[in-house]
Amino acid sequence: MKKSLAEQMQQSTEKRRKRQWAVMITFAVLMIAFIFLSMNTGFSKLAPAEVLNTLFGKGTSRQNLILFEFRLPRIVISMLVGAGLAVSGCILQGVSRNALADPGILGITSGSGLIVVLYLSFYSSTAKAPTLLLPFLALAGGLMVAAIIYVLSYSKKDGLNPNRMVLTGIAVTAAVNGLMIVLMLRLNPNKYDMVASWLAGSIWGSTWKQVLTLLPWVLLLIVFAFLKSRKLDALSLDENIASSLGVNLNRERLYLLLIAVGLAAACVAFTGGIGFVGLIAPHLARRLVGPGHRMLLPASALGGALLLLMADTLGRLVFPATEIHAGIMVAIIGAPYFLYLLSKSKM
């Protein structure tokens, strides 16, 4: 008895859908586990029972302080930033049709970073600096770099060349880093330490006020990205196919790029130079749920949130006294993965 083609297709779609849900649920379970682990770890230890007690309102004031004022906001920030960077990377990879694109490689992160460093150097401490402004400033920096890269890698003859985009990104990053060093040397030692640690990608913005600043940005932009997932599917196909599907290429590409830059910039404003999340999370997600952006975007967001939470937790778990920054942990995981992808790519 032979099944019809339609039946077979339906079956494989069902199979894929089941798989996609399985992936999402696994991510969610892992996330909860790591949230719990993250609440336990840090300079002052909280045992699992203590965490539970505190969560249900029976903690001492010290336990309350540690959990609600330090650990939880930090956990939320790392998850938001991880999700934001991952979705940003996912969009950039789709739009540029370049598997190796990511806000860090393209220099958007360092563009935002430059403005943030400028801004921080005007205020004597981060506490006094009005945090609400940070994402906007970072956005300006990110947009500036994105515009430079777009102009420099666009040519009339062959449009937006993905390879050239990456090379331009690397070069612009080098130039921005040069400027940054010049700026940093004018800072006094205290600020220098703060900025240096910011650049290495630490989750420093971890008060509820900062969470509330970041939250709307990330949520709104991720929802926007999700609404554009069909357009992103079309754009990540061949250019000719996309335009024959009736997508206004240039306009959609611009919208999506704006979303990607906005996400990356807002995240960078709170955590500094965290690279590779935007690269790894979409790749892992694509391998697990397939190339359709309707599932790929949320899976990337979950994967990214999980990744950064893991990195931040492991950094505290392995070296509790010094707290290896999340950015460093992510690079240690991410760079080898990037090299692996590079060795498999055909560019």
Partner 1 sequence: MKLNNSVSKDHNSSKLKIHARPVRAFLTLTIGLIAVILFMGISIAVGAADIQLSTVYESLVNFNPDVTQHTIIHELRIPRSIADVLIGAAFAVAGAVMQGMTRNPLADSGLLGINSGAIFMIAVALAFFPEMSYNGTMIFAFVGAFIATALVYGTSSLGKARVTPIRLVLAGAAVSALLTALSQGIAIHFRLSQDLAYWVAGGVAGIKMPQVLSILPWISFALIAAMLVSRSITLISLGDEVASGLGQKTGLIKIIGGIIVLVLAGAAVSVAGPIGFVGLVVPHLVRYIVGVDYRYIIPCSAVVGSLLMLLADIGARMINPPYETPISALFALVGVPFFLYISRKSGRGL
128 binds partner 1 (CB under 8 A): no
Give me the residue label for tokens 């062959």: 158
Compute CA distances 174 → 80, 180, 293, 313, whole Å. Answer: 28, 10, 32, 30
- Of 7-15, 78-86, 208-216, 336-344, the segment contacting partner 1 by CB under 8 A is 336-344
275 binds partner 1 (CB under 8 A): yes
CB-based contact 205:81 (threshold 8 Å): no
Specify which residues 154 forms β-bridges with: 160
325 binds partner 1 (CB under 8 A): yes
Q: How many Å apart are CA 134 and CA 120, to the nearest integer?
A: 9
DSSP state of 121: T
307 binds partner 1 (CB under 8 A): no
Contacts (Cβ under 8 Å, ≥6 apart) of 62: none
Rg (CA), the chain: 21
317 binds partner 1 (CB under 8 A): no
71 binds partner 1 (CB under 8 A): no
82 binds partner 1 (CB under 8 A): no
- Of 17-25, 137-145, 191-199, 288-296, the segment contacting partner 1 by CB under 8 A is 191-199
In the set 105, 195, 214, 260, which binds partner 1 (CB under 8 A)? 105
Q: How far is the CB of 313 from partner 1 (least distance, A)?
A: 16
Instruction: Tell me the residue type at 151.
Output: V
Cβ nearer to partner 1, comparing 54 with 109: 109
158 binds partner 1 (CB under 8 A): yes
- The CA dihedral of 45, 51, 53, 59, to the nearest 10 degrees, is 50
- Of 158-166, 212-220, 250-258, 291-299, the segment contacting partner 1 by CB under 8 A is 158-166
Q: How far is the CB of 173 from partner 1 (least distance, A)?
A: 8
Query: What is the maximum span of the chain, computed from C-alpha positions, in angstroms?
Result: 79
In the set 24, 31, 118, 200, which binds partner 1 (CB under 8 A)? 200
